[in-house]
Amino acid sequence: MASNLQMIPQVEQIHGEIRDNFRAIANGFQKLDKIKDSNRQSKQLEELTGKMRECKRLIKEFDREIKDEESKNPPEVNKQLNEEKQAMIKELNSYVTLRKTHMNSLGNKRVELFDGAGVSEPTAEENVQMASSMTNQELIGVGMKTMDETDQAIERSKKVVEQTIEVGVQTAVTLKGQTEQMGRIVNELDTIHFSLKKASQLVKEIGRQVATDKCIMLFLFVIVCGVIAIIIVKIVNPNNKSIRDIPGLAPPVPTTRRLLYVKEKRNS
């Protein structure tokens, strides 16, 4: 019947993906019957669970698309599309039941449609009731209920992920601000180190200049003291021949002694 359905390209593509997943799930269960190792069986069941999860998502997308196109299609086409959707839900539920059977055979007491979906442990009556004894409507109801519970679990997971992302963004902003602040501190420390180095060089230069000035002043002081000493000695003992005359300083004129000598000669 699916080949005779009138579907828009987008709906047809979704339908094809669902059918491809169903074939992969069927082949996976056939391989599962041939696997003897329990660990490999668990791994195979996990892979089949992922494909069933994808089928569930695609069926919901298929249902959303046909509802959007419902007003544009004739009633007969809408009926066929809804029947095809119900058939796919029934087929998915049969795989879910088959997965439960394999999980029970592996010794798992808690049966879940999807890992982490939060489905409660089935009662004894549900365990006794097999898929073959259930009506289509019952299978559809169980499948839709399980899908809704899985959607709720996924929404909770999304909220946790969003909160984690928000915390990560805030942490990244804080780290970025701290990194920039540390960069500014490092730049300031480099500037201070450079300023201290320049100041040290300047102090050394000033010290050398001060030492040079002190030597020059000391040398000038010694010269001045020497000149003053020579002048004093020359004045006190002008006849000292060991001391040369100071340029610009003429020896004393012996006028007074000549006058005294002339007066004494006349008196005699």
Give 50-83 pLDDT, tens digit per residue: 999 999 999 999 998 888 888 888 888 888 889 9
Contact partners, residue 19, CB within 8 Å, separation at least 6? 2
Comparing 130 with 67, the larger pLDDT belongs to 67
Residue 85 near residue 66, CB atoms below 8 Å: yes
Residue 5 near residue 56, CB atoms below 8 Å: no
pLDDT band at 130 (very low <50, low <70, confident <90, very high): very low
Give 94-103 pLDDT, tens digit per residue: 999 988 888 8
Give 134-148 pLDDT, tens digit per residue: 566 666 777 777 787
Contact partners, residue 29, CB within 8 Å, separation at least 6? 48, 95, 98, 102
> Angle at the Cα of 105 (from 49 to 109), degrees rounded to 5?
80
Q: What is the mean pLDDT of residues 184-213?
A: 82
pLDDT band at 247 (very low <50, low <70, confident <90, very high): low
- Kindly state the DSSP code that residue 37 receives in the 8-state scheme: -
Residue 80 near residue 73, CB atoms below 8 Å: no
* Burial zone of 216 (CB within 10 Å; 0-12 exposed, 13-18 middle, 19+ buried): exposed
Give the whole-angstrom CA distance, residue 105 versus residue 35: 13
Q: In sequence order, what DSSP letters do the residues of 57-93 get, joined into one string?
A: HHHHHHHHHHHHTTTTS-HHHHHHHHHHHHHHHHHHH
Give the chain's mean pLDDT. 76
Closest CA to 244 of 257, 232, 255, 230: 230
Give the whole-angstrom CA distance, residue 4 versus residue 80: 9
Residue 100 near residue 139, CB atoms below 8 Å: no
Predicted confidence at residue 56, as pLDDT, reads 92
**The tokens of 156 are what?**
């909770």
Residue 94 near residue 131, CB atoms below 8 Å: yes
pTM recorded for the entire structure:
0.40
Residue 61 is which amino acid? Answer: E
Residue 126 near residue 80, CB atoms below 8 Å: no
Q: What is the mean pLDDT of residues 190-194?
A: 82
**The tokens of 100 are what?**
């439960």
Give the whole-angstrom CA distance, residue 101 versus residue 29: 11
Characterise 125 by phi-psi region: left (phi > 0), alpha (psi -120 to 50), beta (else): alpha
pLDDT band at 238 (very low <50, low <70, confident <90, very high): low
Helix (H) / strand (E) containing 234 = helix 136-236
Mean pLDDT check: name the lowest of 24-38, 136-150, 206-220, 232-246. Answer: 232-246
